[in-house]
Amino acid sequence: MSTQEVKSVRRVVTGHNSKGQSIVSWDGPAPSVRGGENGANKWTDLWVWNEPCAPISGANDDGNLTYDFPGPPKGGHLRIVHGQGKPAHYDPAKDQRILAPHAPKPRPSHRVWDRGGRNLFNSDMHKTETVDYAILLNGQRRLILDDCEIDWKPGDVVIQVGAYHQWSSPDQGGDVMYDMIASPFTDGLRGLAQGQDKILTADPKRVLPGGAKAARRIVTIDRELHKGSLVVDGPTPDVCVDEARPGFSSSRLWVTRGPAEIVYESLHLPRHIQPPVGGSVMSVNYIPPDESWKGKVGSAQVQAFFKAMGSPEASTYAGSAPHPYMQKTKTLDFCTVLEGELVLILDTQEVVIKAGEVVILRGANHAWANRSNHMATLAIAAHDGQ
């Protein structure tokens, strides 16, 4: 089998200067690419945190912290897995990754259970003591559960709620970003669904204004012992639009509270930009060109937007600010441009961010500008910070 080659991932990390202004602390290739042994996939480490409330200050690059999969038992980790596709002349006899299906068993960490079934282009059927936000950045990945198989497109988000699952690339490879959040199982290490929360779905007759879109979310969980199943697959029902920016929409996909829970649904929780204590919020934002609303937005329009988002206090609007939608929250935000191009605006500088590049905001005053002529898509996983 050929050696897997992967492109470096540009990672921009923010910090603060002596005046408390937001700045870029690091900008360049993510520092660590690992894996690849015996034909296994490689992955790029982006960030690690060890406590439910993630640090958002300091001079340390936490992309260099080590961890054992599936990540710290109280925190989490962010990485991109570079999945390999099935080779054109695949020969199972030469595949060093092959492992036949077997009865469920724990791995040494005792926070991962697997049932085998892997090969060069399929992962093990496995589950982890985590809630995962998985985003297909490019290429192909197939999600295999015990009750169905799902092909997903770049930009779709899978919410793995402690479920047994398997990843496959039967035709071509694909890069998937995983934000894995510790979720200690509370039911005797089985990780079965808890509670009877109503599963929310979008009204099929809903028409969003100004051509706004709703992101697709795919939620999985174990309803039965050792059986991963689909909870919901479709456009999220929770979409916030901005009347001042036709075409803008923010799709909320999932919320965790500290510690993350193994539940069927979380969108019944109140909408806020700031996550619950020790928790997180996963969203996908569709951002129209600034030229479409430039000169038509002032204090009243900005205040209305942040109120609709449930976080009026997040706005740092000022007539002298570099962008009307400047905001600041006590969060560690993992931001990825999925489509198009955006400009990250900070107190001291601007940075162009292209599709596939990752920004890690550490409590930064910032805004996102779209200076192109096309829509842009931005995924944000916001974590409560300290």
Residue 2 maps to a domain: no
User: Is the model's pLDDT at 24 over the cut of 90?
Assistant: yes
Residue 16, domain extent: 10-384
Confidence tier at 187 by pLDDT (50, 70, 90): confident
- 348: its two tokens: 């001291």
The answer to whether 272 touches 312, Cβ cutoff 8 Å, is no
Total count of domains within the chain: 1
**How confident is the prediction for the chain on average, in pLDDT?**
95
**Rounded Cα–Cα distance for residues 94 and 87 (Å):** 12
Confidence tier at 2 by pLDDT (50, 70, 90): very low
Which residues does 82 contact at the CB level (< 8 Å), separation at least 6? 4, 6, 41, 42, 43, 44, 173, 175
pLDDT per residue over 163-182, tens digit each?
999 999 998 999 999 999 99
pLDDT per residue over 191-232, tens digit each?
999 999 999 999 999 999 988 999 999 999 999 999 999 999
Neighbours of 86 (CB within 10 A): 16
**Rounded Cα–Cα distance for residues 317 and 302 (Å):** 8
Residue 323 maps to a domain: yes
CATH number of the domain enclosing 218: 2.60.120.10
Residue 292 maps to a domain: yes
Is the previous residue joined to 108 through a cis bond, with omega within 30 degrees of 0?
Answer: no
Confidence tier at 188 by pLDDT (50, 70, 90): confident
Confidence tier at 67 by pLDDT (50, 70, 90): confident
| pTM for this entry | 0.96
Which residues does 1 contact at the CB level (< 8 Å), separation at least 6? 39, 87, 94, 95, 96, 120
Residue 1 maps to a domain: no
Confidence tier at 3 by pLDDT (50, 70, 90): low
Q: Output the DSSP codes for 322-360.
A: SSTT-B--SEEEEEEEEESEEEEE-SS-EEEEETT-EEE
- 287: its two tokens: 């951002």
pLDDT per residue over 306-332, tens digit each?
999 999 999 999 999 999 999 999 999
Query: What integer is the mean pLDDT of 341-365?
Result: 98
The answer to whether 51 touches 83, Cβ cutoff 8 Å, is no
**Rounded Cα–Cα distance for residues 179 and 75 (Å):** 11
Confidence tier at 109 by pLDDT (50, 70, 90): confident
User: Is the model's pLDDT at 72 over the cut of 60?
Assistant: yes
Query: What integer is the mean pLDDT of 17-21?
Result: 96
Residue 3 maps to a domain: no
Confidence tier at 186 by pLDDT (50, 70, 90): confident
Residue 4 maps to a domain: no
User: Is the model's pLDDT at 107 over the cut of 50?
Assistant: yes
The answer to whether 228 touches 222, Cβ cutoff 8 Å, is yes
SS3 302: helix
Residue 5 maps to a domain: no
User: Is the model's pLDDT at 148 over the cut of 90?
Assistant: yes
In the chain, the amino acid numbered 208 is L
